[in-house]
């Protein structure tokens, strides 16, 4: 049985900085802006790491300012298709014009129960939701999240 090996792309297209667990904001990290030219090294990195999945997350939400980063993603989609490697996207944007259906899995980072209701499946992608439990989470809220996901025909993983 082979195990997937992930290659992570950490993007910085800017951010909304509203996640309560933001390590970038909370630690004053200075992550350089993401540029399209960085994708020139992707094939070599996939081969070197023997990656079977590319995972995109961020030092800022990967989908922040998506209309202005669309060309970056068009190139990334093309490279993934050429290498026959699936793409996983981590984002807190639940409503965007991003073509989520081009991803193997979309991992939505949520802050509250109501954000779950905005999540849609756009194709055959696996839909996962994650929460960072903060001090305002109660046992009742956690149970409500669990029950919502358990009964959802959109969300596959919690």
| 152 band by pLDDT with thresholds 50, 70 and 90 | very high
Does the reported pTM lie above 0.85? yes
Q: Are 83 and 77 in contact (CB under 8 A)?
A: no
The b-or-e profile of 19-52 (16+ CB within 10 A means b, else e) is beebebeeeeeeeeebeeeebeebeeebeeeebe
Determine the 3-state secondary structure of 71 from DSSP: helix
- Return d(Cα 142, Cα 135) in angstroms, integer: 12
CB 56 within 8 A of CB 87: yes
> Average per-residue pLDDT in the chain?
89
- Residues near 31 by beta carbon (within 8 Å), at least 6 away in sequence: 10, 12, 24, 59, 60
Give tens-digit pLDDT for 16-48: 666 666 666 666 666 777 888 989 999 999 999
Number of Cβ atoms within 10 Å of the Cβ of 60: 23
pLDDT of residue 2: 63
Rounded alpha-carbon distances, angstroms, from residue 89 to 6, 15, 71, 86, 140:
12, 15, 16, 10, 29
How many residues can be counted in the chain? Answer: 158
């Amino acid at each position: 049985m082979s195990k997937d090996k992930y290659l992570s792309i950490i993007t910085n297209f800017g951010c909304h900085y509203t996640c309560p667990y933001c390590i970038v904001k909370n630690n004053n990290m200075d992550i350089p802006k993401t540029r399209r030219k960085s994708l020139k090294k992707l094939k070599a990195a996939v081969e070197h790491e023997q990656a079977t999945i590319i995972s995109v997350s961020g030092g800022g939400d990967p989908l922040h300012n998506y209309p202005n980063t669309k060309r970056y993603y068009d190139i990334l989609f093309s490279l993934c298709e050429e290498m026959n490697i699936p793409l996983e996207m981590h984002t807190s944007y639940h409503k965007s014009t991003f073509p989520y259906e081009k991803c193997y899995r979309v991992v939505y980072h949520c802050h509250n129960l109501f954000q779950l209701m905005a999540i849609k499946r756009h194709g055959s992608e696996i839909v996962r939701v994650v929460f960072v439990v903060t001090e305002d989470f109660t046992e009742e809220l956690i149970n409500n999240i669990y029950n919502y996901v358990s009964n959802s025909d959109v969300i596959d993983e919690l």
